[in-house]
């Protein structure tokens, strides 16, 4: 570490809490849109007792989500308004200087398992400082908990040819992913000083954080930095973006970066220099005002840090063969209806959200053919989700839940089992106890149970604490041992593709159940295989660590394509 740090005691001295430990130098000036750099050492003891700055946020989608959540929980209009206002008014302290992490450890910690949390928020919002992550419930069981901030949105994932030209690897984007890797390197090098075991690290996250976990599992750069993985509702947004080639209706990420830069500083060469001369406030305002550009600032297949799209990597068995716990919620899209494109996020938001006319059935079907590759595949999809091509709300919601979340869980668990790696699957079904609730087991509902935390004004069931204890026990057991079995809890069978079973978390009872047959997931898995086969993707040999990128088709620009070596550790 770059110097000594001072935290604070909590829970009557039983817990040591450190907030705002820097793991990377401030990514400002010439370090804006560059890999994280080491922290400058300091001499005095650094006070780490206050929440660190958060990354710049996109903000718009999060406000909509919170408003819908408050209504969907079945609360009164007054309480809904109060909850929405309370959450959206939480201080954020946005700053480019955001590469900080927080540590919670028992006072007498020594060689404890380490759990590293990556927050959700669509890679555009969220923070390690959010109240629901500030609980001692997991470390009280006997682990060291680390929560991290990393660069988001345009600051974390801008691709551009000028940035690629300056890179020794000929690539750009993925700076937020590199931040996550730098944080894991910090854990490897420093966590023993906080009582953690650097050889027993579990990385876990939800939504964008869940997809980040799968990204890390398929990144050669991250290999060996963690030993177990938990992906909660791994999300889809931006999943098929490639640095130098279009996919479906997604442009090459580098081209999208040029378009965004041109809109701000003109088309002449030197765009990155002029963008770096702008203030963070100016850039953030432009980013928030451009709903079209905001779609393209996500982790990107760059042929190096992400050799291929993560679901494709799982298809080829290229993921890290670490124990994996993965699952999703029963009503993932209940709060998203009305601003989703029926064919998926690759085709943009719902037209009504950006002031465009509603899509007709032919337009939806054309997009589905582009996505799935044939009329026969689309016929199977619309049979599984009747009314999807007409944009019916229930069909769009059910399809979105599977397209955005469920198919990742299904595909990853099946392909992880095929490589012989341990995998444990769950399905979360608990709902608000209020009779007027409409949100169901909504996206992110499981987080408070995993962390054993509370959210102001959120309704809590009388027996909710039993579910919370069960989930915390299983998550801790997995981090400690690689299996989620805990004394006094139902045994959690490992996933087997020939006899698929998942653990159901619900009130008043949780336990293992056979995974139900879901024709929609079968069609969506076939879509992944179709897209994987259509893309020019590299292969990773886990034995030698060699990443080979084939030449692109003749009509594909060769910018950035090459053969590369990477450590597979």
Of 426, 429, 448, the residue nearest 439 (C-alpha)? 429
Q: β-strand 112-118 against 100-106: which pairing, if any? A: unpaired
Task: Centre a 10 Å sphere on the Cβ of residue 124 and count the other Cβ atoms it contains.
Answer: 27
Of 107, 108, 133, the residue nearest 118 (C-alpha)? 133
Three-class SS state of 419? coil
Point out the catalytic residue in the list 332, 389, 397, 446. 332
| Whether residue 119 lies in the annotated active site | no
What the block records as the tokens of 18 is: 């450190």
Of 295, 169, 159, the residue nearest 239 (C-alpha)? 295
- Tell me the C-alpha distance between 214 and 211, whole Å: 5
Is the omega angle on the peptide bond into residue 508 within 30 degrees of 0, that is, cis? yes
- Tell me the C-alpha distance between 71 and 264, whole Å: 38
Point out the catalytic residue in the list 80, 164, 207, 284. 207
- Tell me the C-alpha distance between 391 and 352, whole Å: 12
Residue 314 and residue 413 in contact, taking contact as beta carbons nearer than 8 Å: no
Q: Which residues contact 371 (CB under 8 A, 6 or more apart)?
A: 248, 343, 344, 346, 347, 527
| Whether residue 411 lies in the annotated active site | no
Residue 497 and residue 272 in contact, taking contact as beta carbons nearer than 8 Å: no
What the block records as the tokens of 238 is: 């931006």
What the block records as the tokens of 44 is: 């005095």
Point out the catalytic residue in the list 227, 443, 449, 502. 443
The total number of residues written for the chain in this structure? 569
| Whether residue 443 lies in the annotated active site | yes
For the annotated catalytic residues, the residue numbers are: 207, 332, 443
């Amino acid at each position: 570490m770059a110097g000594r740090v001072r935290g604070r005691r909590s829970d009557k001295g039983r817990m040591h809490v450190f907030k705002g430990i820097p793991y990377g130098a401030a990514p400002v000036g010439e370090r804006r849109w560059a890999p994280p750099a080491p922290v400058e050492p300091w001499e005095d003891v650094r006070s780490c007792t206050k929440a660190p700055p958060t990354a710049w946020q996109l903000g718009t989608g999060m406000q909509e989500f919170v408003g819908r959540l408050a209504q969907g929980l079945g609360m009164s209009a007054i309480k809904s308004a109060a909850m929405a206002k309370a959450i959206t008014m939480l201080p954020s302290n946005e700053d480019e200087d955001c590469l900080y992490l927080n540590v919670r450890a028992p006072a007498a910690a020594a060689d404890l398992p380490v759990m590293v949390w990556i927050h959700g928020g669509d890679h555009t919002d969220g923070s390690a400082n959010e109240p629901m992550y500030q609980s001692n419930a997991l470390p009280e069981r006997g682990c060291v908990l680390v929560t991290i901030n990393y660069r988001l949105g345009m600051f974390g994932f801008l691709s551009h040819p000028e940035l690629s030209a300056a890179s020794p690897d000929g690539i750009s984007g993925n700076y937020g992913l590199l931040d996550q890797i730098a944080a894991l390197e910090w854990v490897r090098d420093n966590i023993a000083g906080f009582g953690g075991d650097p050889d027993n690290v579990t990385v876990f996250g939800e939504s964008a954080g869940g997809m980040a976990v799968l990204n890390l599992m398929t990144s050669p750069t991250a290999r060996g930095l963690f030993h177990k993985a938990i992906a909660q509702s791994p999300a889809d947004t931006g999943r098929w973006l490639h640095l130098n080639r279009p996919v479906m209706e997604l442009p090459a990420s580098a081209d999208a970066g040029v378009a965004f830069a041109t809109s701000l500083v003109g088309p002449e060469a030197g765009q990155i220099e002029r963008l770096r001369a702008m203030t963070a406030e100016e850039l953030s305002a432009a980013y928030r005002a451009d709903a079209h550009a905001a779609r393209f600032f996500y982790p990107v297949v760059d042929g190096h840090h992400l050799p291929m799209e993560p679901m494709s990597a799982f298809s080829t068995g290229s993921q890290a063969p670490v124990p994996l716990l993965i699952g999703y919620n029963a009503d993932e899209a209940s709060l998203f209806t009305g601003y989703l494109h029926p064919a998926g996020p690759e085709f943009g938001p719902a037209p009504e959200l950006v002031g465009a006319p509603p899509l007709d059935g032919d337009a939806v079907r054309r997009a589905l053919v582009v996505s799935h590759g044939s009329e026969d595949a689309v016929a199977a999809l619309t049979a599984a989700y009747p009314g999807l091509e007409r944009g019916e709300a229930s069909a769009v919601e059910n399809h979105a839940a599977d397209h955005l979340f469920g198919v990742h869980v299904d595909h990853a668990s099946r392909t992880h089992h095929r490589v012989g790696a341990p995998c444990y699957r769950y399905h979360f079904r608990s709902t608000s106890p209020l009779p007027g609730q409409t949100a169901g087991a909504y996206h992110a509902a499981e987080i408070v149970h995993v962390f054993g935390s509370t959210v102001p004004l959120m309704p809590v069931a009388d027996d909710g604490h039993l579910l919370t204890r069960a989930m915390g026990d299983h998550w801790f057991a997995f981090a400690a041992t690689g299996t989620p079995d805990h004394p006094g809890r139902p045994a959690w069978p490992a996933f087997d593709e020939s006899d698929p079973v998942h653990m159901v978390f619900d009130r008043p009872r949780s336990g293992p159940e056979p995974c139900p047959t879901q024709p929609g997931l079968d069609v969506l898995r076939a879509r992944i295989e179709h897209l994987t086969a259509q893309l020019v993707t590299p292969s990773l040999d886990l034995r030698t660590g060699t990443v080979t990128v084939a030449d692109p088709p003749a009509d594909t620009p060769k910018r950035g394509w090459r053969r590369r070596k990477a450590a597979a550790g």
